Structure 1
Amino acid sequence: MAGRGPAPNAGTDHAAMGHTAEEHAAMGHSKMDHGSGGGGHHDHHAMMVEDFKRRFWVCLGLTVPILALSPMLQMWAGVDWAFPGSVWLLTALASVVYVYGGWPFLNGAVEELGKRRPGMMTLVALAITVAFVYSMAVVLGLEGNLFFWETATLVDLMLVGHWVEMRSVMGASRALEELARLMPDEAHRLTATGETEEVPTSALRPGDRILVKASEKVPADGTVLDGRSAVNQAALTGESVPVEKGQGDELIAGSVNGSGALTVEVTKTGADAYLNQVVTLVREAQASKSKTQDLANRAAFYLTVTAISVGALTFLAWWLLTAEPLAFAIERAVTVMVIACPHALGLAIPLVVAVSTSISARNGLLVRDRAAFERARDLDTLVFDKTGTLTEGRFGVTEILAASGTSDDDLLALAAAVEGGSEHPIAAGVVRSAQDRGLALPAVQGFQAITGKGVRATVDGRTVQILSPGAIEAEGVRFSDALRQRADTLGTEGQTVVYVVEGDGAQARPLGALALADVVRPESKEAIDRLHELGLTAVMLTGDKREVAEHVARQLGIDRVIAEVLPDGKSDVIRQLQAEGKVVAMTGDGVNDAPALATADVGLAVGAGTDVAVETADIVLVESDPRAAVRVIALARATYRKMVQNLWWAAGYNIVAIPLAAGVLAPWGIVLSPAVGAVLMSLSTVVVAVNARRLRVE
């Protein structure tokens, strides 16, 4: 009669603790205080695991003599181990198992009935009490069979079911604890004299300088003052490759330094630190109630009422309408109540919520609103801001048009050398592109900015100019028709084209041209392709020029472009899409995206963006990677599928199990005992726990 009872999570003291099964389902495991970084509830949960383990082993030890002393089992085995007083010893042992082993379930039933919400604890308590009280009546003279062995085995199975399941629950509930463990206990703080002192991480304050040695964890958010190293941020942001960090770069507490030592100025500690903000967001997400959980809670309540009703009808039918003995009728009723315990229903949704939230955090998806995350499965349109989301928000060379006799790398290196003296964004884009290619830049002398035209400098004794298209016309420099036509085409697409020439005036020798534009993120094309695989429409919403937006859209395969939209008009566009019947998500990173993020059915803020955008969004994407937005949708769909699967595992088997428990196949010799019913019920609970933990990001 083990049953489904409280299952490791439902009442688990939940029974003894005072949570009702329903409360534990609705709040316990979705709320998941279980891991607030080693907090009290998690410790208490671990204590309860030990408590059920201890109760199980004690009761199992007592069950052995109970089985040996049971007259029915002796008869089946063909032995007679009765002795004077053996029945009373059997009764005493069974009483200990009933009270000590059954206490969590009996206490939980009192809690449930006191709140007028009968649930799984009520069913378990009713089942073991009916079997025990009936057996006591037989000992005192009522004609019938002793069910003490059924009571003991049922309690054992329920206890071990709780023990095993609670361990699974704890495994699924450790997201916050794992995050908290990322922080080191101590830091190397630098004194005014440059010496290091060992201090607790909690003693660090903004403005402190610390030394992060090779292979150490970063103890606080900060900015690199000196040194260079590759830093592993995988546990925090989901990036699989270590990130190069140097002077001026930001470091996240909990990331792991590579082989180089770094001197860091602390910028954030305590509640303001990134890791603590992640912990807070994860806790909020786990505490926010799933709408699907409401369905599970209602189903559990109705299943409880159904089980009690069917159990009572089963008892009356077998007792009053058949020739079967009273013991058989009681056994059928007890089996029905055991097998129908909705414990797995109580876990079906909270466990999936726990696992998906943990997966989200590990993949750089911070869920702030659980309901919005669940809505993401229904999305059919994903709107991207262009600048900073699909693109990097900075100029870069998109195409090199080298004239005959000049290589692409030579042209870019020459242009970068000349532009190195300018602070213009175009100049910065040229220099950065050369650096990305690892090009060596020649020495430059006599840099000069030419107002309205471009720049010039002397490189290796020759004059090199970088000029605008208008300046080329004025100077009368002749480029090949093919090069000019290609350059003109790029210009009409909204790209900025600059020309590189050697010499002055009409005698200047054309070297080539460079086209620059906002650099498209290398991940953007993959994100759009994956989005199309999921059946969604990709929309670009930007304030940039239409030709620029359409050029980016063509590169990426964007389905629809809405360009030249003023910041205050973006939310109106979202409303128009919704009016068309679309379920819309918005991804953005700027202040001008905040109203649209709030208007969308699901708002996705790029974590590297502004605080106002992050605060307005439902889900924060830690990295500026558009693929993360697609992962949100894929994970939301996978999470919902797991929830539906768990609901079927938790409740669907009752369609077959309850009639079998009631004895509909008894005329053909197929009868389930309470112990078998308990095994089936416990298996459904374990299946739900294991199935939840198999959730993966697609």
Structure 2
Amino acid sequence: MVADFRLRFWVSAVLSVPVLALSPMIQAFLGLDNALAFTGDTYVLFALSSIVFFYGGWPFLKGLFSELASLRPGMMTLIALAISVAFFYSSAVVFGLSGKVFFWELVTLIDVMLLGHWIEMKSVMGASGALEALVKLLPSTAHRLDDDGEIVDVAIADLKPGDRVLVKPGEKVPTDGIIVKGRSSFNEAMLTGESRPVEKGPDQEAVGGAVNGEGSVTLEIRKTGAETYLSQVIDMVRQAQETRSRTQDLANRAALWLTYIALTAGTATLIFWLGTGEEFSFALERMVTVMVITCPHALGLAVPLVVAVSTRLTAQNGLLIRDRAAFERARNLDTVLFDKTGTLTEGKFSVSGVVALGDMPEAEVLSLAAGLESQSEHPIARGVARGAHERGVSAKSASDFRNITGQGAEATIEGRKVQVVSPGFLRENGKEVDDPKVRKHADEGDTVVYVVVDGEPVGAIALADVIREESFEAISRLKKMGIRCMMVTGDATPVARSVAEQLGLDEYFAEILPDQKAEKVRDVKARSLTVAMIGDGVNDAPALVESDLGIAIGAGTDVAIESADVVLVRSDPRDVFAILALSRATYSKMVQNLLWATGYNTFAIPLAAGVGYPWGVLLTPAFGAALMSLSTVVVAINAKLLGRAGNLANRSD
């Protein structure tokens, strides 16, 4: 549709040049009376104008019938009415009716309307790619195990319940199933919001789309197609997109009233002048002048120009607007609902505490762990290495590194056997530790691993998802503005409580699944609150669509970005302030433009109808055209002034 409007605009614009050159009114205005006249010029003018009317004006003529069929006349009705009156009246003049041709008015109106629709559609375009992005989370093939144990790569669509598939380290789980062999950790952050890799073994369920960690596992397929967890998320996104209400376009409402005014005033003008005994040609010209001066040149650009300017400004400030209607509603926000993992937090582990369980110093415990974990790419291993670096602790040199599938890793350091293992490993080997400091970290939701040297636990390391530095500032400023700040997460309650307390959030919702996230948004909206949802994962997609304003962190998944109304390209939660500032300024400019675009009709229409005729004041079509041009220029200048609506780059305002 964008390409169609673009093509129609350029074809119409090219044909409009000779139409303007051949129009008597334009020639008179430029002092070129009859300078370009030639035999049959009026028929050439008619032919060119007919092409512009039927080709360039077709989207509006088609829209007229659609709006009338739904009994909701709007912008398309007004445009179609204006160009039809100008075309058929001017055609009648060409073929003998007394009067003046308005072909130049016809083609310029079509050009401006095509340009306005092209700009608007380009600025707010796009069928959402959320569903396609969700589907891409699944691999295209799976390693199916035949009855004889042979591995055969098959398409996901060919899998059926009961099939067994092999999932290798680093691969995505093809579809929902039960682990029948092997043990590994699974990264489900983009599906459930759980920031910690989830350890799973035999008889536990693996979710399609989750990323397998360090171990190979064999799954027995339990669900396929529409039954899978990911498919249910896709359905929720689709349903939310289809049922999401959109604010009615202000320009359409203004066009509706202008349509009524144009029809009423035009008809009343014709009847009045005929009733006073004036000639039909005079009465008809008065009616046409009224209809023409009501033509929405400025109205057609009032909103698109502001949208175009605000889109440019937001792009310059790291904000990508995907839904204008939702963006405009941001001016009324009073509640912001944050996802935790990857939004308020960095989505990666770091050391939150080290507990020595014997005589070994804490720094020595961390140094041994960092030396071992430097050999691994596991998220916890990277967190230990990162934590040691942040604390200025050097990692010891390790050799003979080996994974302990699903439970940790081991290596040789300075001639000693060093292991970094899970609490489950200690329990299985009769070395379970009960320490109040360790217990405190676990109660706060931290992930705890133990450092074992030559078979004896010497320390524990607690890891937590790191809260973004920007999050503290963002929450503080939002609360100063009187906006309630809440958090919704799939993480465990202790983790959520710890983050909420550190940031000073008003409320938090923990252990929430995707369907529950969307439900929580609905619950908050039910309190008569206008809600913005900020997130970055697949699990956030339904909630992003359900909210009044969905905001995606730019570093998140394609799903979240495609489901959102606004994308924070810089992944900075403080950019919510820029959204609020620009939303308010944009809406203000739209209202100003709409008031100006329709307001000049208050005095122009009565003059066009002939109110001043008894006193010798009669608004000519040329003067009416000048008024319309002035209105369009004022609208364009006012839209440009949006760039002065505050310094968005300074987010401390």
1: CA distance between counterparts of 2:38 and 2:334? Answer: 64
Deviations 1:72-112 (A, max 9, x none): xxxxxxxxxxxxxx9xx999789468736754687669969
1: CA distance between counterparts of 2:120 and 2:454? Answer: 69
Q: TM-score, normalised by structure 1?
A: 0.53
For residue 539 of structure 1, give the secondary structure of its aligned residue in structure 2. Answer: strand
Aligned-partner residue type, residue 392 of structure 1? E
1: CA distance between counterparts of 2:379 and 2:504? Answer: 28
2:263 aligned to which of 305, 309, 312 = 305
2: CA distance between counterparts of 1:503 and 1:114? Answer: 83
Q: Is the CA contact 1:311–1:662 (under 8 Å) kept in the aligned structure 2?
A: yes
Does 2:10 correspond to 1:46? yes
2: CA distance between counterparts of 1:689 and 1:581? Answer: 37
Shift of 1:163: 5.2
Aligned-partner residue type, residue 34 of structure 1? V
Aligned to 1:21: none
For residue 540 of structure 1, give the secondary structure of its aligned residue in structure 2. Answer: strand
CA shift in 2, pair 1:624/1:514, >3 Å: farther
1:170-569 matches, within 5 Å, as: 291-292=248-249, 294-312=252-270, 315=273, 335-349=289-303, 365=320, 367=322, 378-398=332-352, 416-421=370-375, 425-433=379-387, 441-444=395-398, 493-495=444-446, 516-529=463-476, 531-532=478-479, 535-565=482-512, 569=516
Does 2:2 correspond to 1:34? yes
2: CA distance between counterparts of 1:534 and 1:545? Answer: 30
Aligned-partner residue type, residue 336 of structure 1? V
CA shift in 2, pair 1:345/1:671, >3 Å: same
Q: Is the CA contact 1:585–1:601 (under 8 Å) kept in the aligned structure 2?
A: yes
Q: Is the CA contact 1:53–1:160 (under 8 Å) kept in the aligned structure 2?
A: no
Q: Is the CA contact 2:16–2:107 (under 8 Å) kept in the aligned structure 1?
A: yes
For residue 291 of structure 1, give the secondary structure of its aligned residue in structure 2. Answer: coil
Q: Is the CA contact 2:22–2:45 (under 8 Å) kept in the aligned structure 1?
A: no
Deviations 1:159-202 (A, max 9, x none): 55665776676566656999xxxxxxxxxxxxxxxxxxxxxxxx
For residue 392 of structure 1, give the secondary structure of its aligned residue in structure 2. Answer: strand
2: CA distance between counterparts of 1:411 and 1:307? Answer: 87
Aligned to 1:20: none
CA shift in 2, pair 1:654/1:49, >3 Å: same
Aligned-partner residue type, residue 483 of structure 2? L
CA shift in 2, pair 1:41/1:407, >3 Å: farther
1: CA distance between counterparts of 2:528 and 2:277? Answer: 59
User: Which has the larger displacement, 455-464 or 40-49?
Assistant: 455-464
CA shift in 2, pair 1:94/1:458, >3 Å: closer
RMSD: 6.3
CA shift in 2, pair 1:409/1:304, >3 Å: farther
Segments of 5+ residues of structure 2 without an aligned counterpart are: 127-170, 172-237, 649-653
Q: Is the CA contact 2:408–2:421 (under 8 Å) kept in the aligned structure 1?
A: yes
Identity %: 41
For residue 349 of structure 2, give the secondary structure of its aligned residue in structure 1. Answer: strand
Aligned-partner residue type, residue 523 of structure 2? Q
2: CA distance between counterparts of 1:670 and 1:505? Answer: 104
Q: Is the CA contact 1:391–1:520 (under 8 Å) kept in the aligned structure 2?
A: yes
2: CA distance between counterparts of 1:448 and 1:134? Answer: 92
Deviations 1:242-299 (A, max 9, x none): xxxxxxxxxxxxxxxxxxxxxxxxxxxxxxxxxxxxxxx9xx99xx987215424423
Shift of 1:419: 3.5
CA shift in 2, pair 1:661/1:534, >3 Å: farther
Aligned-partner residue type, residue 119 of structure 1? L
Aligned-partner residue type, residue 429 of structure 1? G
CA shift in 2, pair 1:502/1:370, >3 Å: same
2:621 aligned to which of 674, 683, 689 = 674
Deviations 1:603-662 (A, max 9, x none): 5566766787678x4547486936398366666655544543342232122123323444
Q: Is the CA contact 1:395–1:519 (under 8 Å) kept in the aligned structure 2?
A: yes
Aligned residue pair count: 509
Does 2:525 correspond to 1:582? no
Shift of 1:537: 2.0
1: CA distance between counterparts of 2:521 and 2:314? Answer: 26
2: CA distance between counterparts of 1:579 and 1:66? Answer: 62
1:119 aligned to which of 78, 81, 105 = 78
Aligned to 2:225: none
Deviations 1:487-541 (A, max 9, x none): 99877644457899999999x9x9xx97631022344345435644765322111
For residue 529 of structure 2, give the secondary structure of its aligned residue in structure 1. Answer: coil
CA shift in 2, pair 1:445/1:653, >3 Å: same
Shift of 1:679: 1.4
CA shift in 2, pair 1:550/1:65, >3 Å: closer
1: CA distance between counterparts of 2:277 and 2:474? Answer: 67
2: CA distance between counterparts of 1:63 and 1:530? Answer: 60
2: CA distance between counterparts of 1:346 and 1:398? Answer: 57
1: CA distance between counterparts of 2:372 and 2:383? Answer: 13
Shift of 1:563: 2.8
Aligned-partner residue type, residue 498 of structure 2? H
Does 2:599 correspond to 1:652? yes
2: CA distance between counterparts of 1:665 and 1:517? Answer: 78
Segments of 5+ residues of structure 1 without an aligned counterpart are: 1-32, 71-85, 140-146, 179-222, 224-280, 476-483
Shift of 1:341: 1.9
Q: Is the CA contact 1:112–1:119 (under 8 Å) kept in the aligned structure 2?
A: no
Shift of 1:66: 9.9
Q: Is the CA contact 1:418–1:456 (under 8 Å) kept in the aligned structure 2?
A: yes
Does 2:571 correspond to 1:625? yes
Shift of 1:678: 0.6
CA shift in 2, pair 1:130/1:688, >3 Å: same
1: CA distance between counterparts of 2:125 and 2:64? Answer: 34
Q: Is the CA contact 1:413–1:434 (under 8 Å) kept in the aligned structure 2?
A: yes
Shift of 1:564: 4.2
Q: Is the CA contact 2:270–2:283 (under 8 Å) kept in the aligned structure 1?
A: no
1: CA distance between counterparts of 2:287 and 2:477? Answer: 53
Aligned-partner residue type, residue 627 of structure 1? P
2: CA distance between counterparts of 1:687 and 1:489? Answer: 65
1: CA distance between counterparts of 2:550 and 2:606? Answer: 47
CA shift in 2, pair 1:306/1:686, >3 Å: farther
For residue 580 of structure 1, give the secondary structure of its aligned residue in structure 2. Answer: coil
1: CA distance between counterparts of 2:83 and 2:422? Answer: 83
Aligned-partner residue type, residue 295 of structure 1? R
Aligned to 1:260: none
CA shift in 2, pair 1:412/1:557, >3 Å: same
CA shift in 2, pair 1:61/1:296, >3 Å: closer
CA shift in 2, pair 1:501/1:611, >3 Å: closer
Q: Is the CA contact 2:339–2:534 (under 8 Å) kept in the aligned structure 1?
A: yes
1: CA distance between counterparts of 2:25 and 2:604? Answer: 30
Aligned-partner residue type, residue 54 of structure 1? P
